[in-house]
Amino acid sequence: MSSHPIPDNPEEHWAAVDHYLNQTLHPTDPVLQAALDASDEAGLPAISVSPTQGKLLQLLAQAQSARRILEIGALGGYSTIHLARALPPGGRIVTLELSPTHAEVALANIARAGFANAVTLRLGPALDSLHQLQAEGVEPFDLVFLDADKGGYPQYLTAALPLCRPGTLLLADNVIRHGQVIDASSSDPNVQGVREFLRMLAGDPRISSTALQTVGSKGYDGFSISRVLHL
């Protein structure tokens, strides 16, 4: 008989499984825990990816052999640290953040983790930063992680594609919205933003895409995973 009976509440069950996976696969990590603690102390929303999701990002970046990573939405830098751990020597991350408070916390967390020299944070509206990067003619990115306001996902996709190359991996978080993504009549701009984003992915022959539903300590949500075929 299991020593951890399945709770009546499904979300409690999902969180319990996440707790088990974290204990089994992810030993206590003082650097990552310090990043979460600092974010909490600064009053940032508790919406960072979970430890298992963060490790998934790291593994995907390593499998991609990503040297240049673009992150849209830094929050407190928790996912940034996971991605930075995948970088080879000389690799770089550009992370975009709107909030000065979030940016300050993220930069401190990134520096504490030892990645200050590998990460550049651009403060301001993400669309402005994306257009600026394009105007600067920066080298294409090998991986793009989108985890910002969901209503802006369609615009971010359009602005990020010119910064990619054939083979770039595009990852987007929070695309299931507790299942609300199927509600075409939803008045939630986050839901409608994700729906339009997925429609754009499906209709663009330059991109091959799929999406995965996830459950866990972050509730019911999911990722989209896309690969740029050509531009």
166 within domain boundaries: yes
Could you tell me if residue 2 is inside a domain?
no
94/71 Cα distance (integer angstroms): 6
Report the pLDDT averaged over residues 158-183. Answer: 97
Task: Please indicate whether residue 4 or residue 169 has the higher confidence score (pLDDT).
Answer: 169
In a domain, 4, yes or no: no
CATH number reported for the structural domain that contains residue 90 in this entry: 3.40.50.150
Amino acid 1: pLDDT: 43
Distance CA(65)–CA(169), nearest Å, equals 11
Q: What percent of the chain has pLDDT over 90?
A: 93
**For the residues 138-145, what does the mean pLDDT come to?**
98
Residue 183: give the domain boundaries: 10-228
- The total domain count for the chain is 1
pLDDT of 203 strictly over 90: yes
76-114: pLDDT as tens digits: 999 999 999 999 999 999 999 999 999 999 999 999 999
5 found inside a domain: no
Residue 185 above 80 pLDDT? yes
At 7 the pLDDT is 64
**Residue with the two structure tokens 């003619």:** 137
For all residues of the chain together, what is the average pLDDT? 95
pLDDT band at 26 (very low <50, low <70, confident <90, very high): confident
On the 0-12 / 13-18 / 19+ scale of CB atoms within 10 A, 139 is exposed
**43 is a domain residue:** yes
Task: Please tell me the distance from the alpha carbon of residue 159 to that of residue 173, in angstroms, as a whole number.
Answer: 17
CA gap 37, 35 in Å, rounded:
5
